[in-house]
Structure formats: C-alpha cells, structure tokens
Structure 1
Amino acid sequence: MMDTANGATDLTGKLLIAMPGMGDPRFEHSVVYMCAHSDEGAMGLIINKPSGDVTMAALLDQLSITAEPGLDLKHVHFGGPVEMGRGFVLHSPDYMSGLTTLQVDPRFSMTGTLDVLETIARGEGPAHWLAMLGYAGWGPGQLEAELTQNGWLVCDATPDLVFETPDLGKWEAALNSMGIPAHLLSAEGGSA
C-alpha cells in the first residue's frame, strides 16, 4: 500500500465497510471496493447491493446484446449514487478489454465498456464478475474526512469475499475478516 502525496494511505484495492449511523442511507451497510484513490479523489463500487429489479439478461436485452441462458438469475448491482446510467464490471484479471480495463491490483480489474458485457453474454467473459450501475465517488479530501469521522472501516479485499460471498452476507463477512463481530458495532458514539 502506497501513500498519496498528502501523506494519506492509498486505499486502492481495499474494501470500505460502512459504519452504522453513517447518516447516508444510500451507503447503509455498504461494502465498497475501491478502484482508485489519490489526492484528486476516490472511486469505488458498492459490491453488496443488488438491484431488486434489474437482471443481467434485462440489461443486455436493453442494450440489444443477445445473452446466453442463465443471466436472468444474476442481478445488476447498485454501484453507487454517481452516474447511475453508467455501467461498470468489477472482475477477475483473466479478462482484459482492448479498450479500457483498469487493472486495480493482481486480483481485481474493472471495465466500463460494452465489450466486457458482450463477452459475458457469450459466456466468454471473466471467470468472476459483478455488474454495476453507478459508482461511489469522493472529491479531494472528502473520503479522508469521512474516515476521520469514523464513517468507514477499511479491510483487505479478497476474491472470495467480493465474488463468492452472498450479497446479504458481505458486510458482516468483511467485519469478520477484521475480527470485529457485527453485533458489537453501534450507531451511537460514547465515552469511557
């Protein structure tokens, strides 16, 4: 992990775990995979909030992409409140777009172009992936301020936690990876 120019820790490739009482209902119990973090701001994707009504098959149909069977069971995720009409795929590094794949670290890549959806639709895409609409974004210093105010915990991202853990269990699993039982967290601050 590198430091940014202002001395803050670079969170690229890490998970942010929303603390109870954060105050923003869009991030309640969210787990955010950090795709980029620098002095210029940060960008991440919420990995544990599937859309209740948008399946991959429906999204592909809307984009006039013919899908292989089975994608009607896979939901598109709410990636965050910024540019909700824009799509992203967080995936394993076994796929590389000729256009715009960002290799975040050796275990995770992110592609925001239609070619990744076309390969997934053909059953030829990455072995592991999550499709998102929108992303979570922070301006310069904004995420650092939220961290200082105890809005987020930071933990290591693993492919198993990101891609294999059921969405509803990711928040608690991320906390458990840090040795923190979820029931011990409180939305109320206190003093001893």
Structure 2
Amino acid sequence: MSSSMRVSKGSLLIAKPFLGDPNFERGVILMCEYNDQGSFGFVLNQVTDLYLGDVLEETIYQDVPLHLGGPVEKNTLHFIHRRPDLITGGSEIMNGVFWGGDFNHLKTLLNFNTVSHNDIRFFIGYSGWGGGQLEDELNQDSWIVTQTSADFLFGTHPGNFWREILRSMGGEYRSIANYPTDPRHN
C-alpha cells in the first residue's frame, strides 16, 4: 500500500499528522465518489455523542452510534453497510461495502436485531471537495491514499482506526502511526 496510489471510489484518505485542518485531524475518510466534478466521502473515525434514535422521530431500539462524516451538510444522515443481502438499493463503493439503501427497511431490521450496528455505520454530514480541490491537497502531500477490506473497516474501533490502518501499511507508515498528537509533549 502506498501514498502514491491514485484516489478512486473505495479508497481511504488518511490525514497526515500536520494536515492543519481540525475537521480532519487524524481523520480517515472512505471515498464514496471521485470524479472530475468533485468527490465526497465519510470520516470513519469521528464518533459523536449521539445515537441514531436521537435524530429520528421513530424509535430505534438499538443504540447505533452516529459518526461525524465531515463538515458539509451536518443536517443530513447517511449510512454505509456490509449487508446487501438484507439492505437493498445500496451502491457498492468497494468490495463488500455499500453506501445507502432502503432506509425504512433498515430501521425495521435494526429494531428486530436482524442487522447489527457492527455491520453498519451512520454519519451526520459528509466530506466533500469541488473539482480539483482534493488534487491540490494531494499535491501538497496532505493525505496518504490506501485501500482496506470491509472486515478491517467494520471491525476496527473508530478511536483506533487512524493508527491501526497506518500500522497495517508497515514501513514508514508504521512510524507515522506512532507520531504523538502534540510533539511538544514528547
């Protein structure tokens, strides 16, 4: 895996320690779309203090945590999942990971415990870039680009995601994973 990889739908963008944008500090973003007009994705490792039931009028019996998908349109709700056998209508963004689908049916599946919160991630807002904007950030060496598996994505605790994905890449990335949040306290 290499930071010289090209960005594509399903890629991960890993914020370098000195990115300088508090919205993405030590962030890992799953790219859901990438083209000449722009791109968008969801920050995988910023969990809020809210649960799905907190933002819906209907009752959701499972405590499904909400993630902050990014700084854009924080009044929108999105989800990714790995259960296309149960959640229809989603769009595959990488092998085994789907964006969206039949939300009304999903709420029923959650309430009957047919779908576990381990198979789904909900996001408030998203991360987006206009045409050429992400390329400028990549040229400034702000991001590391890599791929991962659905199992790693859903099986890694969000609080450990940035460090664990870098460690899994090995080499120089393993060193970056151990970089202190504030080097002055080193």
* TM-score (structure 2 length as normaliser): 0.82
The residue aligned with 2:25 is 28
The residue aligned with 1:4 is none
Secondary structure at the aligned position of 2:178 is classed as: helix
The residue aligned with 1:58 is 54
Count of residue pairs brought into register by the alignment? 172
Unaligned 5+ runs, structure 2: none
In 2, distance between residues paired with 1:97 and 1:13?
A: 19
Name the aligned partner's letter for residue 57 of structure 1: G
Name the aligned partner's letter for residue 85 of structure 1: N
The residue aligned with 1:5 is none
Could you say if the C-alpha distance between residues 18 and 112 of structure 1 is closer, same or farther in structure 2, counting changes exceeding 3 Å?
A: farther
1:174 deviation in Å? 1.1
1:158 deviation in Å? 1.3
Asked whether the equivalents of residues 47 and 167 of structure 1 are also in contact (C-alpha less than 8 Å), the reply is yes
The residue aligned with 2:44 is 47
Unaligned 5+ runs, structure 1: 1-7
In 1, distance between residues paired with 2:129 and 2:33?
A: 10
Aligned residues: CA RMSD: 2.4
Name the aligned partner's letter for residue 23 of structure 2: R
Asked whether the equivalents of residues 11 and 36 of structure 1 are also in contact (C-alpha less than 8 Å), the reply is yes
Percent of residue pairs bearing the same amino acid type: 33
Q: 1:95-106 maps to which residues of 2 (within 5 A)?
A: 95-98=86-89, 101-106=90-95
In 2, distance between residues paired with 1:185 and 1:147?
A: 23
1:96 deviation in Å? 3.6
The residue aligned with 2:136 is 145
Asked whether the equivalents of residues 95 and 149 of structure 2 are also in contact (C-alpha less than 8 Å), the reply is no
* TM-score (structure 1 length as normaliser): 0.79
Asked whether the equivalents of residues 95 and 150 of structure 2 are also in contact (C-alpha less than 8 Å), the reply is no
1:66 deviation in Å? 2.5
1:186 deviation in Å? 9.4
1:187 deviation in Å? 9.3
Moved over 6 A (4+): 185-188
1:160 matches 2:157: no
The residue aligned with 1:111 is 100
